[in-house]
Amino acid sequence: MFIDEVRIRVKAGDGGNGCMAFRREKFVPRGGPSGGDGGRGGDVILEASQRHNTLVHFRFNPEHKAQRGRHGEGSNCSGREGKDTVLKVPVGTVVYDDTTGELIHDFQHPDERFVLAHGGRGGRGNQHFATSTHQAPREHELGHPGEERFCRMELKLLADVGLVGYPNVGKSTLIARISAARPKIADYPFTTLEPNLGVVTVGDAPHEESFVVADIPGLIDGAHLGAGLGVQFLRHIERTRLLLHIVDVSDGSGRPDAVEDYKVIEAELKSFGHGLDEKPRIVIASKSDVANPDKLKKLQAMARRKKLPFYAISAVTGAGIEALKYAVAERVRALREPIAEAG
């Protein structure tokens, strides 16, 4: 089960109450107020983890609370602080305020931490209210309540390269060919019902390079309006640096015009927004071993007009795969460099 959007309620711990107490003991020359402070409530903390790749663990457990602080005690004893609650989320999780829609935090690095709800401060005991003219104070403070928030979390996969195209154009077969990923492959539409990630390695040590590829479930005309799998997975290609637009040039697709297929998917990406239509892309003609020569020629001519890199491949026979891997690795390296320099 792949869960990429959940709503949760979090409640930080309340602070403990301050204590009202007095001491008058043998061998204690000065007695007086001795009420201790209440302990601070625990925080609710989100932490990015590479061991998690979905938000499914929040689906059936949407409420999370931190421990409250203990109340203060006599003899100036402060209450114990409440324990924090740490919630693990996958890298790539974006947290929004479910009430206002405001972006709260975007987790982009492993082990990144963010305090989602702060614990309440403990109340002061009556020892703090003693003065020279008010030596037996009975005032003390109640603990402050911890923060409570209703949040919506979205998971956007972190990948260098995103594979887009109609269902059954060969995306899953390609990612299985170039990486260790083993997605479900079958001859019917929407075989892939959840994104798959694969790590592709190019070259030999010590000059070995790698990049992450995301196989996004097939798009169709009207996807941005909810058709097919809708916008459920379009968000996962927002973070990618490079798009590989795969077009089936065989006669098995049932669609007569490969160029029109390309235009439909590009229109969907543009309609979804978020800069998807501005991302660098490479056009790939898949199933070249059984290609319709006219389809292949028209798609190649279109790519040449748009000055887009073009590769014809067959994931079944392996034709063109190595050349594509090295071209993608080179392009990803070039796209990473400006970010590395800025960092």
Q: What is the structure's pLDDT at 31? A: 77
Q: What is the structure's pLDDT at 222? A: 53
Last residue of a domain, one of 120, 155, 190: 155
Same domain, 283 and 229: yes
Average pLDDT over residues 105-127: 94
Q: What is the structure's pLDDT at 199? A: 81
Least confident range of 166-170, 300-304, 314-318: 166-170
Euclidean distance between CA atoms 54 and 113, whole angstroms: 18
Same domain, 180 and 327: yes
Same domain, 10 and 113: yes
pLDDT at 210 over 50: yes
Bridge-based pairing state of the strands 5-11 and 85-90: unpaired
Q: What is the structure's pLDDT at 182? A: 58
pLDDT at 253 over 50: yes
Same domain, 129 and 195: no
- Provide the CATH number for the domain around residue 221: 3.40.50.300
Average pLDDT over residues 283-288: 93
Euclidean distance between CA atoms 145 and 12, whole angstroms: 8
- The answer to whether the CB of 79 falls within 8 A of the CB of 122 is yes
Average pLDDT over residues 191-203: 70
Q: Which domain holds residue 274?
A: 161-342
Same domain, 104 and 174: no
pLDDT at 121 over 70: yes
Pick the residue with more confidence: 209 or 220? 209
- Provide the CATH number for the domain around residue 29: 2.70.210.12
Same domain, 287 and 325: yes
**32-82 per-position pLDDT tens digit:** 899 999 999 999 999 999 888 788 889 889 999 999 999 999 888 999 999
Same domain, 116 and 247: no
Look at the chain and report how many structural domains it folds into.
Answer: 2
Q: Which band of pLDDT confidence, cut at 50, 70 and 90, is reported for residue 213?
A: confident
Q: What is the structure's pLDDT at 227? A: 47
Pick the residue with more confidence: 201 or 31? 201
| Dihedral angle, C-alpha 25, 26, 32, 34, nearest 10 ° | -40
Q: What is the structure's pLDDT at 221? A: 58
Euclidean distance between CA atoms 96 and 154, whole angstroms: 8
Q: What is the structure's pLDDT at 336? A: 81
Last residue of a domain, one of 139, 155, 171: 155
Show Cβ contacts of residue 342 under 8 Å, excluding neighbours closer than 6 positions: none
**91-107 per-position pLDDT tens digit:** 889 999 999 999 999 99
Q: What is the structure's pLDDT at 202? A: 86
Instruction: Convert the chain into a string of H (helix), E (strand) and C (coil).
Output: CCCCEEEEEEECCCCCCCCCCEECCCCCCCCEECCCCCCCCCCEEEEEECCCCCCHHHHCCCEEECCCCCCCECCCECCCCCCCEEEEEECCEEEEECCCCCEEEECCCCCCEEEEECCCCCCCCHHHHCCCCCCCCCCCCCCCCCCEEEEEEEECCCCCEEEECCCCCCHHHHHHHHCCCCCCCCCCCCCCCCCEEEEEEECCCCCCEEEEEEECCCCCCCHHHCCCCHHHCHHHHCCCCEEEEEEECECCCCCCCHHHHHHHHHHHHHHHCCCHHHCCEEEEEECHHHECHHHHHHHHHHHHHCCCCEEECCCCCCCCHHHHHHHHHHHHHHHHHHHHHHC
Percent of the chain with pLDDT over 90: 48
pLDDT at 296 over 80: yes
Last residue of a domain, one of 123, 155, 187: 155
Percent of the chain with pLDDT over 70: 86
Same domain, 334 and 272: yes
Same domain, 174 and 142: no
Average pLDDT over residues 214-234: 57
Q: What is the structure's pLDDT at 60? A: 86
Could you tell me the pTM of the whole model? 0.69
Same domain, 304 and 182: yes
pLDDT at 229 over 70: no
Same domain, 285 and 260: yes
Contacts 24+ apart (CB under 8 A), 263-266: 264/166, 264/220, 264/221, 265/164, 265/165, 265/166, 265/219
Same domain, 185 and 48: no
